[in-house]
Amino acid sequence: MSDSFRTPSVLAPVRGPVLFADDEGFAAEAAVFNTAVAHRPYVVVGASDEADVRAAVRFARQEGRSVAVLNTGHGPSVSVSDGAVLITTRRMAGVEIDAGQRVARVEAGVTWGQVVEEAAKVGLAPLAGSSPQVGVVGYTLGGGVSIALGRAFGYAADHVRAVEVVTPDGELRHVTPQTSPDLFFALLGGKGNFGVVTAMVFDLFPVTEVYGGFLQFAGEDARAVLEAYRVFAAGAPDEVTSSVVFLRAPDLPFVPEFMRGRLTVLVRVAYLGSAAEGQALVAPLRAAATALVDTVGMMPAAQVAAIGNDPTDPGTAVEHFAMVGELSGEVVEAILELAGPDSGGEITLVNLSQLGGALGRPAGRPSAVRRDLAFAVFALTVVPPGVPGLEVDRGAELVGRLAGLDGRKHPGYLSPSDAAVESVRLAYDEATYERLRTAKTEWDPQNMFRWNFNIPPRA
Ligand SMILES: Cc1cc2nc3c(=O)[nH]c(=O)nc-3n(C[C@H](O)[C@H](O)[C@H](O)COP(=O)(O)OP(=O)(O)OC[C@H]3O[C@@H](n4cnc5c(N)ncnc54)[C@H](O)[C@@H]3O)c2cc1C
């Protein structure tokens, strides 16, 4: 697949495409979901297997170049440039399910949609996120909060049994909590800082149905809904995973008429239990106001993506995350003021997700994921095509207000606005951050893997 005239010899055996800036297909291979980020590396290596990954890392080492990793492009941190080698993993798409052991082994390019579908065939479910397009590995390296089962079972990272990774020295390693506890810990929560994960083995759960869906209310009911949600969340058992979304849809023909150019407020909920218990739990939310749409009911676990209804087309957006320790009156007021019906409507989407439950308890396996936060707040403002950027960034204002109340961050909830080292540091408690730096200094002393939410090695 490589151009033998200019491909360096160490990359010659690579089976996937090796693309330089002026090659056809280079831009498509390096494209991301949020086009606010644009990659211009020295070369893109489209890895088709772990041997391709090893060759790419060895090439970078040999030439003193840095390495970046891209799968679906749903979680970019910084625009890759500066002579970097970008390894794309989407061709590594193998999924194996062992129904007896209730485990899956997935290669680096696998997305959640694939695993959900394969696992459902044998009556099992993974800890999948809201979007079927998101990559399993990138998601799990930040913790991974399942939209349906997160609070019931904990982080996806808590259920990883083994990680196969090409470390910055170019070697493929099989990492388990028993064989390399420090590297296992660092990989799960330390994101892309420690090498290229080529495959992962993790637990599946015997879940075939949930009571779930969303309630969608008019923007005018935002306060009543948020107040009802606050009470609902405070009393929710671990079997309930939920979030609230303030969504301002564009005034465009493809948007359903009742949402066009308007704010609506969605409560997205999943309950791992019976319909009768679910109905009783959700009743106070249904009573908060008249729902315009109510999809909540028993649903196959394979359909959980319908709870989130995430966007599927790439676009440009400015994103910010804040974490909060409690859903206080101040948090509610800040959201209403900056994203509510009287806010002026600059922010396209605000998502408030409840953590806690099993996400708040120590797991049996080591990881660098934090467990001391109650809610994650995400603000996204779409930048329309042809417009250079935002004139006013109300999402930053909202997150700034909330950060003033807490200030902690979380490795699974970082956006390009958090790419600075001081910001990444806030995603870990002191002891975890120091342990990650020790691991980084051991495994990547040159900081070859720096196109990420970087944890620099010690000098
Ligand atoms: C629409 C949408 C919905 C989402 N829903 C959820 C959700 O429900 N729950 C949740 O927890 N998160 C969710 N996320 C966040 C998502 O999990 C992260 O952004 C994740 O990093 C995406 O991984 P990716 O591989 O798909 O994206 P990419 O942009 O391809 O990768 C992101 C980063 O992960 C690292 N990485 C990826 N693959 C590897 C690898 N093989 N080896 C080493 N490093 C690697 C790299 O540093 C890379 O820059 C969502 C994101 C979006 C855009």
Domain-terminating residue out of 23, 56, 88: 88
Same domain, yes or no: 216 and 166 = no
Q: Across the strands, what pairs with 382?
A: 317
**319 in a domain, yes or no?**
yes
Q: What is the pLDDT of residue 5?
A: 59
Same domain, 123 and 194: yes
Both 390 and 276 in one domain: the answer is yes
What one-letter code names the amino acid at 308?
G
Please give the tally of structural domains in the chain. 3
Question: Cα of 71 to ligand 1 centre, how many Å?
Answer: 8
Q: Which atom of ligand 1 is nearest to the CA of 453?
A: 47
Q: What would the pLDDT profile of 319-331 be if each residue is shown by its tens digit?
A: 999 999 999 999 9
- The answer to whether position 451 is within a domain reads no
Q: Is the CB of 157 under 6 A from ligand 1?
A: no
CA atoms of 356 and 233, how far apart (whole Å):
10
Residue 215 and residue 358 share a domain: yes
CATH number at residue 129: 3.30.465.10
**Residue 166 Cβ < 6 Å to ligand 1:** no
Return the ligand 1 atom nearest residue 137 CA: 38
| Structure tokens, 346 | 């600059």
Displacement of CA 331 from its chain's centroid (Å): 23
Q: Which helix (H) or strand (E) holds 212?
A: strand 209-218
Q: In 3D, which of 119, 80, 133 has the Cα closest to residue 208? A: 119
Of 406, 380, 375, which Cα lies nearest the Cα of 395?
380
Q: Whose CA is nearest to atom 44 of ligand 1?
A: 192
Residue 300 lies in a domain: yes
Residue 412 CA, ligand 1 centroid: distance in Å:
8
pTM of the model: 0.97
Pocket test for ligand 1, best of 35, 69, 159 (most atoms within 8 A of CB): 69
For residue 3, the model assigns a pLDDT of: 54
For residue 146, what are the CA distances in angstroms to 84, 176, 434? 32, 23, 28
Residue nearest to atom 6 of ligand 1 (CA): 129
Asked if residues 369 and 412 have their Cβ atoms less than 8 Å apart, the reply is yes
User: Which residue's alpha carbon is nearest to atom 22 within ligand 1?
Assistant: 75
Nearest-atom number in ligand 1 for the CA of 311 is 1
Instruction: Tell me how far apart the alpha carbons of residues 247 and 253 are, in angstroms, rounded to a whole number.
Output: 17
Instruction: Please tell me whether residues 313 and 333 are part of one structural domain.
Output: yes
Average pLDDT over residues 96-122: 98
Cβ pair 337, 343 in contact under 8 A: yes
Q: Using one digit for the tens of pLDDT, what is the confidence trace for 392-408?
A: 899 999 999 998 888 99
pLDDT in tens, 436-445: 999 999 999 9
* Same domain assignment for residues 72 and 15: yes
What is the residue with the minimal CA distance to atom 13 of ligand 1?
A: 129
- β partners of residue 269: 213, 242
Pocket of ligand 1 contains residue 74 by CB under 6 Å = yes
Nearest alpha carbon to residue 85 among 53, 48, 60: 60
Q: Are residue 127 and residue 104 in the same domain, yes or no?
A: yes
pLDDT at 4 over 80: no
Nearest CA to ligand 1 atom 34: 138
C-alpha–C-alpha distance, residues 197 and 53, integer Å: 9
Percent of the chain at pLDDT exceeding 70:
99
What's the pLDDT score for residue 7?
73
Supply φ then ψ for residue 454, to 5 degrees. -80, 140
Q: 191 Cβ partners below 8 Å, 6+ apart? A: 138, 141, 142, 411, 452, 453
Same domain, 199 and 227: no
**CATH number of the CATH domain containing 335:** 3.40.462.20
Model confidence over 154-180: pLDDT tens digits? 999 999 999 999 999 999 999 999 999
- In the block, tokens 């200094």 appear at 441
Q: Is 401 in the pocket of ligand 1 (CB under 6 A)?
A: no
Distance 192 CA to ligand 1 centre (A): 10
Distance of CA 231 from the midpoint of ligand 1 (Å): 31
The C-alpha atoms of residue 350 and residue 259 are separated, in whole angstroms, by: 16
Q: Which residues contact 9 (CB under 8 A, 6 or more apart)?
A: none
28 and 137 together in one domain: no
Residue 232 confidence class, pLDDT cut points 50, 70, 90: very high
Q: Which atom of ligand 1 is nearest to the CA of 89?
A: 41
Give yes or no: residues 288 and 367 share one domain. yes
220 Cα distance to chain centroid: 30
Residue 8: pLDDT band (50, 70, 90) is confident
Pocket test for ligand 1, best of 134, 268, 453 (most atoms within 8 A of CB): 134
* 285 and 226 assigned to the same domain: yes
Residue type, 198: T
pLDDT tens sequence across 259-279: 999 999 999 999 999 999 999
Quote the Cα angle for 294-130-92, to 5°.
150
Distance (Å, whole) CA 173 – CA 110: 19
Domain of 101 in residue numbering reads as 95-206+429-443
Q: Check pLDDT > 90 for residue 2.
A: no
pLDDT value of position 107: 98
Query: Which atom, in ligand 1's list, is nearest to the CA of 76?
Result: 29
Q: What is the pLDDT of residue 14?
A: 96
Residues 72 and 106 in one domain: no
Give the integer Cα–Cα distance in Å for 74 and 403.
Answer: 24
Of 88, 107, 141, the last residue of a domain is 88
Name, in order, each residue with C-beta under 8 angstroms of 336's C-beta and a sequence gap of 6 or more: 222, 223, 226, 343
Asked whether 73 lines ligand 1 (CB < 6 A), one says yes
Tell me which of 57, 88, 119 is where a domain ends: 88
- Closest ligand 1 atom to residue 33 Cα is 53
- Separation of alpha carbons 269 and 214, rounded Å: 6
With respect to residue 132, please indicate whether it lies within any of the assigned structural domains.
Answer: yes
